[in-house]
């Protein structure tokens, strides 16, 4: 959520960004509601001052019996009491009007997007994202290669039919070495982050709607989120939510940036997904994710350095997995409502003959922390809102797509990157069951 003055100062730009992101909000209408609120608040404040003045005069009469020659039982005193009563009635009516204005105003405030960084590309979809750099060369094969689904069946490590039978479309089982590989990439990512000074948390997967609103996932992401019926409990689609909420309504010490990490199961409805995105393990309802979250002081230069840091952490993981990838600067229309600046990392997926998104890094400035009331004291002791950043260190099983496909051999075996081998009981290669 943005400060109302920030919205006033940037109303044309914010409307443009909202339109690019497909967010249906009128900044003009919002400001009209805010004008009404300001007028009502001014009137309410004037009435309260009058009431307080007359109340003090009446209390003085009650305490002293006489004040300024007016007796407590005099017509003047009764008129004073009646005036206070009338002002209270007016205040009740004005406060009701104020509540009626605040409701639509607050609803619109929750829809306003964040400002975007000056170097964010302008665009409406991922087709307008800009490539920053490429690492490695897309894998080429001199044999007929398999996709991850075929490799999973060959090795008996992925079972999609039984996943669908048990839980419906876009569900799966990982079996044997598939489940081990799924755990291995997560632990490799966690160990990398812990070495980098991140504090590991085990987090709640069920949260209240307030936590999702405060972190910027509601109201716009409500259709992507699973709810427990008849309860205000929602399954998180990322541990970013409980990690940021951990410090909600607190004043924190960010003399050194607070670095938090978690690995959690995540759930997403994935409304609107179709085509090749729903093939195999690319876009599923349940997955695991290792998340980085950082809270720091409100300093643009520091936030940029930390965004580069968390992106580099994700890149290093892909380098340890020996996978080719590219880093993209995400355009305005492809970023979520809450994001100020974003990088996506796309990993080469041979079955798609294209790069597919596997990681995302975002700088949010104080968008989340203002909603979540996470503040700090600067060098002068003045309270301000922290900045927040987040990154997907790894998400599985999606990462298994490039991991299996890029490292497959002609005989159907799959090489295990050296960095993963200690987490795979020393195995250097997966061999098809029929070959064992």
Is 383 within 8 Å of 397 (Cβ atoms)? no
Give the C-alpha separation, 394 to 359, whole Å.
Answer: 7
Is 348 within 8 Å of 324 (Cβ atoms)? yes
pTM: 0.92
Q: What is the pLDDT of residues 81-101, one digit of tens each?
A: 778 788 888 888 998 999 999
Burial group, residue 304, by CB count within 10 angstroms (0-12, 13-18, 19+): middle
Q: 2: pLDDT confidence band, cut at 50, 70 and 90?
A: very high
Is 149 within 8 Å of 160 (Cβ atoms)? yes
Give the C-alpha separation, 160 to 173, whole Å.
Answer: 6
In this structure, the strands spanning 387-396 and 286-296 are: antiparallel
Cis peptide before 155 (omega within 30 of 0): no
Q: What per-residue confidence (pLDDT) applies to 63?
A: 66
Other C-beta atoms within 10 Å of 379: how many? 7
For domain 4-109, the CATH class is mainly alpha
Q: What per-residue confidence (pLDDT) applies to 48?
A: 86
Q: What per-residue confidence (pLDDT) applies to 55?
A: 73
Q: What per-residue confidence (pLDDT) applies to 82?
A: 79
Other C-beta atoms within 10 Å of 347: how many? 24
User: In 3D, which of 371, 348, 390, 369 has the Cα closest to residue 140?
Assistant: 348
User: Is there a catalytic annotation at residue 124?
Assistant: no
User: In 3D, which of 300, 272, 297, 269 has the Cα closest to residue 285?
Assistant: 269
Residue 429 has pLDDT above 80, yes or no: yes
Residue 246 has pLDDT above 60, yes or no: yes
Cis peptide before 219 (omega within 30 of 0): yes
User: In 3D, which of 102, 94, 122 has the Cα closest to residue 21?
Assistant: 122
Residue 70 has pLDDT above 70, yes or no: no
DSSP-derived secondary structure for 147-160? -HHHHHHHHT-EEH
Q: What percent of the chain has pLDDT over 90?
A: 84
Residue 72 has pLDDT above 70, yes or no: no
Active-site annotation holder among 283, 370, 371, 375 = 283
Residue 389 has pLDDT above 50, yes or no: yes
Place of tokens 């919002």: 30
Active-site annotation holder among 117, 211, 351, 360 = 360
> Which helix (H) or strand (E) is 64 found in, with range?
helix 27-64
Q: What per-residue confidence (pLDDT) applies to 67?
A: 47
Give the C-alpha separation, 426 to 403, whole Å.
Answer: 17
Torsion angle, CA of 417/423/428/430, rounded to 10 degrees? -100
Helix axes of 148-155 and 177-195: crossing angle, nearest 10 degrees: 120
Q: What percent of the chain has pLDDT over 70?
A: 94
Q: 277: pLDDT confidence band, cut at 50, 70 and 90?
A: confident
Q: What per-residue confidence (pLDDT) applies to 64?
A: 64
- The two tokens of residue 379 are 């060098």
Place of tokens 């098809």: 432
**Where in the chain is CATH 3.30.930.10?**
126-435
Burial group, residue 319, by CB count within 10 angstroms (0-12, 13-18, 19+): middle
Query: What average pLDDT does this structure show over 324-335?
Result: 98
Mean per-residue pLDDT of the chain = 94
Active-site annotation holder among 315, 357, 361, 363 = 357
Is 207 within 8 Å of 233 (Cβ atoms)? yes
User: Is there a catalytic annotation at residue 357?
Assistant: yes
State the CATH architecture for 126-435: 2-Layer Sandwich (3.30)
Q: What per-residue confidence (pLDDT) applies to 436?
A: 46
- The two tokens of residue 219 are 């109201």
Query: What average pLDDT does this structure show over 421-429?
Result: 97
Active-site annotation holder among 370, 371, 375, 398 = 398
Active-site annotation holder among 170, 268, 371, 375 = 268
Q: What per-residue confidence (pLDDT) applies to 160?
A: 97
User: Is there a catalytic annotation at residue 283?
Assistant: yes
User: Is there a catalytic annotation at residue 170?
Assistant: no
Query: What average pLDDT does this structure show over 221-240?
Result: 97
Residue 197 has pLDDT above 90, yes or no: yes
**Where in the chain is CATH 1.10.287.40?**
4-109
Other C-beta atoms within 10 Å of 83: how many? 16
User: Is there a catalytic annotation at residue 398?
Assistant: yes
Beta-bridge partners for 288: 265, 396
User: Where does residue 426 fall: left (phi above 0), alpha (psi -120 to 50 degrees), or beta otherwise?
Assistant: left
Residue 416 has pLDDT above 80, yes or no: yes
Q: What per-residue confidence (pLDDT) applies to 276?
A: 67
Q: What is the pLDDT of residues 116-148, one digit of tens each?
A: 999 999 999 999 999 999 999 999 999 999 999
Is 321 within 8 Å of 185 (Cβ atoms)? yes
- The two tokens of residue 80 are 């004073």
Q: 275: pLDDT confidence band, cut at 50, 70 and 90?
A: low
């Amino acid at each position: 959520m943005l400060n109302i003055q920030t919205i006033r100062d940037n109303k044309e730009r914010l409307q443009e960004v909202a339109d690019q992101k497909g967010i249906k909000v009128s900044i003009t209408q919002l400001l009209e509601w805010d004008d009404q609120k300001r007028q009502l608040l001014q009137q309410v404040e004037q009435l309260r001052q009058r009431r307080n003045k007359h109340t003090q005069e009446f209390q003085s009469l009650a305490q002293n019996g006489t004040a300024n020659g007016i007796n407590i039982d005099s017509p003047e005193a009764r008129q004073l009491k009646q005036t206070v009563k009338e002002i209270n009635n007016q205040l009740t009516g004005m406060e009701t009007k104020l509540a009626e204005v605040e409701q639509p105003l607050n609803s619109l405030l929750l829809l306003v997007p964040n400002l975007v960084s000056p170097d964010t590309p302008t665009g409406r979809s991922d087709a307008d994202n800009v490539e920053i750099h490429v690492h490695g060369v897309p894998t080429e094969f001199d044999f007929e290669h398999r996709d991850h689904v075929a490799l999973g069946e060959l090795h008996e490590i992925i079972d999609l039919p039984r996943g669908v039978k048990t839980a419906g479309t876009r569900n799966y089982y990982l079996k044997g070495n598939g489940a081990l590989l799924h755990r291995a990439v997560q632990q490799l990512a966690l160990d990398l982050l812990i070495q980098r000074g991140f504090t590991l948390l085990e987090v709640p997967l069920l949260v209240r709607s307030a936590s999702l609103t405060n972190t910027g996932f509601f109201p716009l992401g409500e259709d992507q989120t699973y709810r427990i019926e008849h309860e205000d409990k929602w399954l998180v689609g990322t541990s970013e939510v409980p990690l940021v909420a951990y410090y909600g309504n607190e004043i924190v010490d960010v003399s050194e940036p607070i670095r938090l990490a978690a690995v959690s199961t995540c759930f997403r409805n994935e409304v609107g997904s179709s085509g090749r995105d729903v093939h195999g393990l690319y876009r599923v309802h349940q997955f695991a994710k290792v998340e980085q979250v950082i809270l720091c002081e409100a300093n643009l230069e520091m936030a940029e350095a930390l965004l580069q840091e968390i992106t580099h952490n994700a890149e290093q993981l892909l380098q340890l997995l020996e996978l080719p990838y590219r880093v993209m600067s995400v355009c305005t229309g492809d970023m979520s409502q809450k994001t100020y600046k974003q990088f996506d990392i796309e990993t080469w997926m041979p079955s798609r003959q294209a790069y597919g998104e596997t990681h995302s890094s975002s700088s949010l400035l104080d968008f989340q922390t203002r909603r979540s009331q996470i503040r700090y004291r600067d060098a002068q002791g003045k309270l301000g809102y922290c900045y927040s950043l987040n990154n997907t260190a790894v998400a599985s099983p999606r990462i298994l797509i490039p991991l299996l496909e890029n490292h497959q051999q002609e005989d159907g075996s799959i090489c295990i990157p050296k960095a993963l081998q200690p987490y795979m009981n020393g195995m250097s290669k997966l061999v098809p069951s029929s070959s064992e």
